A and B are shown apart, each in its own frame.
Chain A
Amino acid sequence: MKIDKEEVEYVAHLARLEFNEEEKERFTSQLDNILMYMDKLNQVDTSGVEPMSHAIALVNAFRDDRVGESLSHGLSLANAPEARGDCFSVPKVIE
């Protein structure tokens, strides 16, 4: 067993997701299967190997700090589920 239901609930909270009981059961067994498969990697000796995060040798891509064109307030807010004035509107955060 790699993962149990409590852990699935905890990870779901971290990922800002929620599931019903049946989904939790299904996810627990599916994720457990997948994680068991991942155990294969322990067969590989990786001592002294640098982790690779990108396929190409990346260097910082700098540009000049110049004011360019940007989206207008109107366009930026056009897709908002709720907007008020020049702001995105969300449920109340502070008491």
Chain B
Amino acid sequence: MELNQLTIHELQEKIRTGETTSVEILQSVFNRIDAVEGVVHAYIALMRDSALEEAKRADLNIRGGKIRALTGVPLALKDIFCTRGFRTTCGSRILSNYVPPYDATVVEKLRESGAVFVGKTNMDEFAMGSSTETSFFGITRNPWDPERIPGGSSGGSAAAVAADECIASLGSDTGGSIRQPAALCGVVGMKPTYGRVSRFGLVAFASSLDQIGPFTRDVEDCAIMMNVIAGYDPKESTSVPIEVPDYREYLSGGIEGWTVGIPKEYFIEGIDPEVLAAVQNTIKVIEGSGGRCIEISLPHTEYCLAVYYIVAPAEASSNLARYDGVKYGFRSGAGNVQDLLTMYKKTRSEGFGAEVKRRIMLGTYVLSSGYYDAYYKKASKVRALIKRDFDEAFKLCDVILTPTSPTPAFKIGEKTDDPLQMYLSDIFTISANLAGIPGISVPCGFTRSGLPIGVQFLSGPFEEGKLFQIAAACERNAKIERRRPNL
């Protein structure tokens, strides 16, 4: 195997024994990028020069015996994380010239752990989408079938890991934007508990739902990444001061005697039969590992999508009001526009793409006078009931199992004309964001045509350790064949 195909923990071993160097690993990553990026287009921008500097510095540290959690490991960052001195676009024309004056807290933490940054990955504009087709910088293709979408919104970060164009990456998840592309690209992806990872320096979409998390090749790598990025941050008022355990310690625990809840509302008509079969196989694996699977009910499941598409656009319309062409970002026809209001309107109309405008409109409408109670307030109440469903369910089981996405990766362009159809691809992932609980998607098989399928585990808040424990047990015992996309 090439260096760029290995996991973080495999590379760490080779680094520690002196079998390879960070510069060699980086070289193999860039060789791969040069070979396949023309097809995949996982990246908006590459950081070739600074990456080489960072890799050389990592090698100096390694020789000096200073090896940290991610020393010398090439990572990719969704282009939603502020990187000091390096353009951060959020997939939008309106930020196409924005150079942040500071690093996001997660970027700072990865840097301090010795990581090497390869580049900024493609995404749906402002993370609004499930297919990475709304980026101002072009689409990303699924490495398993370039005619298909990689999922979204963090499609570039998922595709980069799947195509071996980096070792691991970071994404953000507001309604499934880590877990859904992880499933569709055949990698591991985690959305932590709301408040577990600092959002400082993450370009805001829906502030009560957004969380940051990793994409990795296996569960152990996911635990390694979470060990680095989780924790309280004084710069972020919703980050929670709860101690971060060493997530690696959960990996070997096994699930003997565990109860796993299978919510009947998640096994609806319209699930692809091959997805269903792969998920049912995971249930067998769990039972074979000493776990007990029981049927549970999350009665308000069918309302999740409606609640989400009120709450998220409402918060987005407010968050995105800041893009006015004054302090940073794109300004329309600078100099020619005579009055301020016209400048705002032209800047925003030319700077935002159709999906972002649709959500700003929807959000503005549901918050507007006369409609607030009927939509936003009603949705916030149903959201409380959705959370209550989970509180009740976790009295009966340790974790919950669901499919991550109702279908494998769909064709490019298949859902772009029908927003509601597109929104439905997040139907199994949205509830975790509304309830604030953590979720992980792990590969659980392939379709006959070779598309990856993912299974999702959910737990109570701040119980990421349990997710690592069951995901690692399934990974060990399911023995899913380790394939690589044929690019």
A contact set with B: CB distance below 8 Å = 3, 7-8, 11-12, 14-19, 27, 30-31, 33-35, 37-38, 40-44, 46, 49-56, 58, 61, 63, 71, 75-76, 78-82, 88, 90-93
Residues on B with C-beta less than 8 A from A40 are 302-303, 306
Q: Tell me the bound Cα distance from A45 to B302 in angstroms.
A: 14
Q: How distant is B423 from chain A, measured CB to nearest CB, in Å?
A: 8
**Which of B317, B331, B360, B380 is close to A82, meaning CB atoms less than 8 Å apart?**
B331
Q: Is the CB of A90 within 8 A of B378?
A: no
**Which of A37, A46, A56 is close to B436, meaning CB atoms less than 8 Å apart?**
A56
Residues on B with C-beta less than 8 A from A16 are 321, 324, 341, 344-345, 348
Q: How distant is B343 from chain A, measured CB to nearest CB, in Å?
A: 5
**Which of A8, A43, A46 is close to B361, meaning CB atoms less than 8 Å apart?**
A8
Residues on A with C-beta less than 8 A from B339 are 91-93
- A-B interface, 5 closest residue pairs, ranked by CB to CB distance from nearest: A55-B436, A79-B328, A51-B380, A81-B331, A61-B237
Q: Is the CB of B360 within 8 A of A81?
A: no
Q: Tell me the bound Cα distance from A40 to B387 in angstroms.
A: 18
Q: Tell me the bound Cα distance from A48 to B103 in angstroms.
A: 44
**Which of B99, B348, B384 is close to A50, meaning CB atoms less than 8 Å apart?**
B384
List which B343-383 residues lie within 8 A (CB) of chain A: 343-346, 348-349, 352, 357-358, 360-362, 364-365, 368, 375, 377-383
Q: Tell me the bound Cα distance from A8 to B357 in angstroms.
A: 12
Q: Is the CB of A52 within 8 A of B99?
A: no
**Which of A17, A78, A88 is close to B345, meaning CB atoms less than 8 Å apart?**
A17
Interface size on B, residues (CB 8 A): 74
A12-B361, A55-B437, A82-B335 known; 19 new pairs, CB 8 Å cut-off, are A11-B365, A11-B368, A16-B341, A35-B362, A37-B309, A42-B378, A43-B303, A46-B382, A51-B377, A51-B380, A55-B195, A56-B194, A56-B436, A78-B99, A79-B327, A79-B329, A81-B325, A88-B327, A91-B343
**Which of B97, B208, B329, B341 is close to A55, meaning CB atoms less than 8 Å apart?**
B208
Q: Is the CB of B420 within 8 A of A49?
A: no
Q: Does B330 contact A (CB under 8 A)?
A: yes
Residues on B with C-beta less than 8 A from A78 are 99, 101
B contact set with A: CB distance below 8 Å = 97-99, 101-102, 193-195, 208-209, 234, 237-238, 240, 300, 302-303, 305-307, 309-310, 317, 321, 324-331, 334-335, 337-346, 348-349, 352, 357-358, 360-362, 364-365, 368, 375, 377-385, 387, 419-420, 433-437, 461
Residues on B with C-beta less than 8 A from A17 are 345, 348-349, 352, 357, 360-361
Q: Is the CB of A80 within 8 A of B364?
A: no
Residues on A with C-beta less than 8 A from B361 are 8, 11-12, 15, 17, 27, 31
Q: Is the CB of A41 within 8 A of B306?
A: yes
**Which of B330, B342, B362, B387 is close to A81, meaning CB atoms less than 8 Å apart?**
B330
Q: How distant is B286 from chain A, measured CB to nearest CB, in Å?
A: 27
Q: How distant is B438 from chain A, measured CB to nearest CB, in Å?
A: 11
User: What are some 11 contacts across the A-B interface (CB < 8 A)?
Assistant: A11-B361, A15-B317, A16-B321, A17-B348, A33-B419, A38-B309, A44-B381, A55-B387, A75-B101, A79-B99, A88-B326
Residues on A with C-beta less than 8 A from B343 are 90-91
Q: How distant is B279 from chain A, measured CB to nearest CB, in Å?
A: 26
Q: Is the CB of A54 within 8 A of B208?
A: yes
- Which partner residue on chain B sits nearest A26 by CB separation? B354
- Which partner residue on chain B sits nearest A47 by CB separation? B381
Q: Is the CB of B238 within 8 A of A58?
A: yes
- Given the known inter-chain contacts A11-B364, A34-B420, please indicate yes or no for A52 contacting B334, CB distance below 8 A: no
Q: Tell me the bound Cα distance from A73 to B330 in angstroms.
A: 20
Residues on A with C-beta less than 8 A from B377 are 51
Q: Tell me the bound Cα distance from A27 to B380 in angstroms.
A: 25
**Which of B326, B358, B461 is close to A31, meaning CB atoms less than 8 Å apart?**
B358
Q: How distant is A18 from chain B, measured CB to nearest CB, in Å?
A: 5
Residues on B with C-beta less than 8 A from A31 are 358, 361-362, 365
Q: Tell me the bound Cα distance from A43 to B337 in angstroms.
A: 48
Q: How distant is B240 from chain A, measured CB to nearest CB, in Å?
A: 6
Q: Is the CB of A81 within 8 A of B307?
A: no
- Which partner residue on chain B sits nearest A30 by CB separation? B419
Residues on A with C-beta less than 8 A from B387 are 52, 55
Q: Tell me the bound Cα distance from A43 to B384 in angstroms.
A: 15
Q: Is the CB of B327 within 8 A of A55?
A: no
- Which partner residue on chain B sits nearest A39 by CB separation? B306
Q: How distant is A29 from chain B, measured CB to nearest CB, in Å?
A: 11
Residues on B with C-beta less than 8 A from A42 are 378
- Which partner residue on chain B sits nearest A3 by CB separation? B365
- Which partner residue on chain A sits nearest B377 by CB separation? A51
Residues on B with C-beta less than 8 A from A90 are 326, 340, 343
Q: How distant is A56 from chain B, measured CB to nearest CB, in Å?
A: 5
Q: Is the CB of A44 within 8 A of B384?
A: no
Q: Tell me the bound Cα distance from A1 to B76 in angstroms.
A: 45
Q: Is the CB of B368 within 8 A of A34?
A: no
**Which of A43, A53, A71 is close to B208, meaning CB atoms less than 8 Å apart?**
A53
Q: How distant is A20 from chain B, measured CB to nearest CB, in Å?
A: 10
Q: Tell me the bound Cα distance from A3 to B340 in angstroms.
A: 28
